[in-house]
Amino acid sequence: MSSRSDAPGTSLAIVSTPITLRIPASSAWVVLARTTATACCARLDFGVDRLEDVRLAVDEVAAMLIGDAVPGSEITCVFTPYEGGGLDIALSARTASGTLPRTDTFAWAVLTALVDDVTATVDATEVTVVLRTSRSTSTTVDA
């Protein structure tokens, strides 16, 4: 008999070490980021609707980054569980423009409706978008 706990929501919830995934900045590889996000959310006992929202948000951010990524570069995805069953997902890529994503677009409005919080930063040419989400399905959308 194993002493390891595999009860849903416990294994990942008690681990504070981030999970890092690096994929080529190509739409062909985004499925790996979506699948990893889905697996993390499932381990944290997210509901199906919330899990789908997170999956769509990861897809949207990846598409934004790929659109401006330096050819041959990578997207780095860091999945960090936090206390209370939440998850931060940071997606980063080296971009040609080195500018923040526009926040006045329909895509950004959709993104902010899918997760609890979205922030974007730029360091030289590396753009990072962080999605913060939790099991809760209540989100606030600023109009």
What is the pTM assigned to this prediction?
A: 0.84
The token duo for 47 is: 């509901």
What is the pLDDT confidence band of residue 3, given thresholds at 50, 70 and 90? very low
Number of Cβ within 10 Å of residue 41's Cβ equals 28
Q: Are 87 and 41 in contact, with CB atoms under 8 Å apart?
A: yes
Question: pLDDT by residue (tens digit) across 79-98?
Answer: 999 888 899 999 999 999 99
Helix 106-114 / helix 48-68 crossing angle, nearest 10 deg: 150
What is the pLDDT confidence band of residue 14, given thresholds at 50, 70 and 90? low
- With a CB cutoff of 8 Å and minimum separation 6, the contacts of 39 are none
What is the pLDDT confidence band of residue 15, given thresholds at 50, 70 and 90? low
